[in-house]
Amino acid sequence: MSISESSGRISRLVREPAGRPSRRAVPFWAWNAVVAWCVFTLLQLAWMFFADAWAGPLHLAGLVLTVSVAAAHVSIMPRWRYRVHRWEITDDAVFVRSGWLTQETRVAPIARLQTVDARRGFLHRLYGLTTVTVTTASSAGALSIHALDDTVAREVIATLTAVAQNTEGDAT
Protein backbone atom coordinates (compact mmCIF):
# COMPACT_ATOMS: atom_id res chain seq x y z
CA MET A 1 0.00 0.00 0.00
CA SER A 2 1.42 3.38 -0.97
CA ILE A 3 1.53 6.40 1.33
CA SER A 4 -1.21 8.19 -0.64
CA GLU A 5 -3.48 5.10 -0.44
CA SER A 6 -2.81 4.88 3.28
CA SER A 7 -3.51 8.57 3.93
CA GLY A 8 -6.71 8.35 1.85
CA ARG A 9 -7.94 5.45 3.99
CA ILE A 10 -7.03 7.33 7.17
CA SER A 11 -8.85 10.49 6.07
CA ARG A 12 -11.99 8.40 5.47
CA LEU A 13 -11.68 7.01 9.00
CA VAL A 14 -10.84 10.24 10.84
CA ARG A 15 -13.47 12.82 10.03
CA GLU A 16 -16.22 14.89 11.59
CA PRO A 17 -19.01 12.53 12.71
CA ALA A 18 -22.34 13.45 11.10
CA GLY A 19 -24.91 12.36 13.74
CA ARG A 20 -26.20 14.72 16.42
CA PRO A 21 -28.01 14.16 19.69
CA SER A 22 -31.74 14.75 19.79
CA ARG A 23 -32.90 18.38 19.99
CA ARG A 24 -34.50 17.34 23.30
CA ALA A 25 -30.96 16.89 24.65
CA VAL A 26 -30.70 20.65 25.33
CA PRO A 27 -33.57 20.82 27.88
CA PHE A 28 -32.58 17.38 29.20
CA TRP A 29 -29.02 18.53 29.97
CA ALA A 30 -30.37 21.80 31.37
CA TRP A 31 -32.67 19.97 33.80
CA ASN A 32 -29.83 17.66 34.84
CA ALA A 33 -27.77 20.76 35.66
CA VAL A 34 -30.69 22.42 37.49
CA VAL A 35 -31.14 19.34 39.69
CA ALA A 36 -27.42 19.19 40.50
CA TRP A 37 -27.23 22.91 41.31
CA CYS A 38 -30.37 22.71 43.47
CA VAL A 39 -28.80 19.93 45.54
CA PHE A 40 -25.58 21.94 45.90
CA THR A 41 -27.48 25.12 46.83
CA LEU A 42 -29.65 23.28 49.38
CA LEU A 43 -26.52 21.83 51.00
CA GLN A 44 -25.00 25.31 51.09
CA LEU A 45 -28.18 26.74 52.67
CA ALA A 46 -28.29 23.92 55.24
CA TRP A 47 -24.67 24.59 56.16
CA MET A 48 -25.41 28.31 56.52
CA PHE A 49 -28.46 27.55 58.68
CA PHE A 50 -26.75 25.06 60.98
CA ALA A 51 -23.56 27.10 61.21
CA ASP A 52 -25.72 30.11 62.09
CA ALA A 53 -23.93 32.04 59.38
CA TRP A 54 -26.87 33.83 57.73
CA ALA A 55 -25.57 37.27 58.52
CA GLY A 56 -22.00 36.60 57.45
CA PRO A 57 -21.15 38.63 54.34
CA LEU A 58 -18.83 35.92 53.00
CA HIS A 59 -21.56 33.29 53.26
CA LEU A 60 -24.08 35.52 51.50
CA ALA A 61 -21.51 36.36 48.81
CA GLY A 62 -20.88 32.64 48.39
CA LEU A 63 -24.60 32.02 47.94
CA VAL A 64 -24.87 34.82 45.36
CA LEU A 65 -21.83 33.42 43.54
CA THR A 66 -23.35 29.93 43.55
CA VAL A 67 -26.63 31.16 42.07
CA SER A 68 -24.77 33.24 39.44
CA VAL A 69 -22.51 30.37 38.35
CA ALA A 70 -25.49 27.99 38.32
CA ALA A 71 -27.51 30.33 36.08
CA ALA A 72 -24.59 30.70 33.66
CA HIS A 73 -23.93 26.94 33.63
CA VAL A 74 -27.59 26.01 33.04
CA SER A 75 -27.96 28.54 30.21
CA ILE A 76 -24.64 27.91 28.38
CA MET A 77 -23.62 24.26 28.90
CA PRO A 78 -26.57 22.43 27.24
CA ARG A 79 -26.35 24.44 24.02
CA TRP A 80 -22.58 24.14 23.89
CA ARG A 81 -22.74 20.38 24.45
CA TYR A 82 -25.30 20.07 21.67
CA ARG A 83 -22.94 21.85 19.26
CA VAL A 84 -20.01 19.60 20.22
CA HIS A 85 -21.57 16.14 20.55
CA ARG A 86 -21.45 14.05 17.38
CA TRP A 87 -21.54 10.39 16.48
CA GLU A 88 -21.44 8.17 13.40
CA ILE A 89 -21.36 4.47 12.63
CA THR A 90 -19.74 3.12 9.48
CA ASP A 91 -18.92 -0.41 8.35
CA ASP A 92 -15.43 0.13 9.76
CA ALA A 93 -15.77 2.12 12.97
CA VAL A 94 -17.82 3.98 15.55
CA PHE A 95 -16.98 7.71 15.77
CA VAL A 96 -17.89 9.73 18.87
CA ARG A 97 -17.09 13.33 19.84
CA SER A 98 -18.25 14.54 23.24
CA GLY A 99 -17.60 17.01 26.03
CA TRP A 100 -18.00 20.73 26.38
CA LEU A 101 -15.06 22.19 28.30
CA THR A 102 -12.80 19.26 27.52
CA GLN A 103 -13.70 17.71 24.17
CA GLU A 104 -12.81 14.17 23.22
CA THR A 105 -12.97 12.45 19.84
CA ARG A 106 -12.81 8.66 19.79
CA VAL A 107 -12.80 6.15 16.96
CA ALA A 108 -13.39 2.49 17.75
CA PRO A 109 -12.97 -0.13 15.04
CA ILE A 110 -16.05 -2.34 14.66
CA ALA A 111 -13.82 -5.41 14.91
CA ARG A 112 -13.06 -4.39 18.51
CA LEU A 113 -16.73 -4.05 19.53
CA GLN A 114 -17.70 -6.23 22.49
CA THR A 115 -21.02 -5.00 23.94
CA VAL A 116 -23.67 -2.38 23.25
CA ASP A 117 -25.72 -1.06 26.17
CA ALA A 118 -28.64 1.37 26.40
CA ARG A 119 -29.23 3.64 29.42
CA ARG A 120 -32.55 5.32 30.17
CA GLY A 121 -32.72 7.05 33.54
CA PHE A 122 -35.80 8.82 34.89
CA LEU A 123 -35.13 12.11 33.07
CA HIS A 124 -34.13 10.16 29.93
CA ARG A 125 -37.57 8.53 29.88
CA LEU A 126 -39.36 11.85 30.47
CA TYR A 127 -37.61 13.31 27.43
CA GLY A 128 -37.78 10.14 25.28
CA LEU A 129 -33.98 9.83 25.17
CA THR A 130 -31.48 6.99 25.39
CA THR A 131 -27.71 6.95 25.83
CA VAL A 132 -25.99 4.12 23.94
CA THR A 133 -22.67 2.85 25.30
CA VAL A 134 -20.33 0.83 23.10
CA THR A 135 -17.73 -1.25 24.93
CA THR A 136 -14.66 -2.26 22.99
CA ALA A 137 -11.50 -4.22 23.62
CA SER A 138 -9.66 -1.04 24.54
CA SER A 139 -8.01 0.22 27.68
CA ALA A 140 -9.46 3.68 26.93
CA GLY A 141 -12.91 2.53 28.03
CA ALA A 142 -16.35 2.58 26.50
CA LEU A 143 -17.74 5.12 24.01
CA SER A 144 -21.05 6.78 24.82
CA ILE A 145 -23.45 8.26 22.31
CA HIS A 146 -25.47 10.65 24.46
CA ALA A 147 -29.11 11.73 24.30
CA LEU A 148 -30.42 9.93 21.22
CA ASP A 149 -34.13 9.75 20.43
CA ASP A 150 -35.41 6.34 21.58
CA THR A 151 -36.16 5.27 18.00
CA VAL A 152 -32.73 6.38 16.77
CA ALA A 153 -31.09 4.52 19.69
CA ARG A 154 -32.90 1.31 18.71
CA GLU A 155 -31.69 1.76 15.12
CA VAL A 156 -28.11 2.38 16.33
CA ILE A 157 -28.18 -0.78 18.43
CA ALA A 158 -29.59 -2.80 15.52
CA THR A 159 -26.98 -1.35 13.14
CA LEU A 160 -24.10 -2.04 15.51
CA THR A 161 -25.33 -5.59 16.06
CA ALA A 162 -25.61 -6.22 12.31
CA VAL A 163 -22.24 -4.64 11.48
CA ALA A 164 -20.49 -6.51 14.32
CA GLN A 165 -21.97 -9.83 13.19
CA ASN A 166 -20.75 -9.23 9.64
CA THR A 167 -17.24 -8.23 10.77
CA GLU A 168 -14.62 -10.89 11.17
CA GLY A 169 -12.50 -10.68 14.28
CA ASP A 170 -12.64 -11.65 17.91
CA ALA A 171 -12.82 -8.16 19.52
CA THR A 172 -9.60 -8.67 21.44
Structure confidence at residue 166 as a pLDDT band (50, 70, 90): confident
pTM given for the model: 0.81
pLDDT score, position 54 = 64
| Entry field: residues in the chain | 172
Residue type, 154: R
pLDDT score, position 132 = 97
Question: What would the pLDDT profile of 70-88 be if each residue is shown by its tens digit?
Answer: 999 999 999 999 999 999 9
Average pLDDT over residues 25-45: 95
> Left if phi > 0, otherwise alpha if psi is -120 to 50, otherwise beta: which for 69?
alpha
Question: What would the pLDDT profile of 51-69 be if each residue is shown by its tens digit?
Answer: 776 667 888 888 899 999 9
Q: How far apart are CA 84 and CA 5, in angstroms?
A: 30
Burial class (CB in 10 A: 0-12, 13-18, 19+), 34: middle
Average pLDDT over residues 18-28: 96
Are the C-beta atoms of 28 and 123 separated by less than 8 Å?
yes
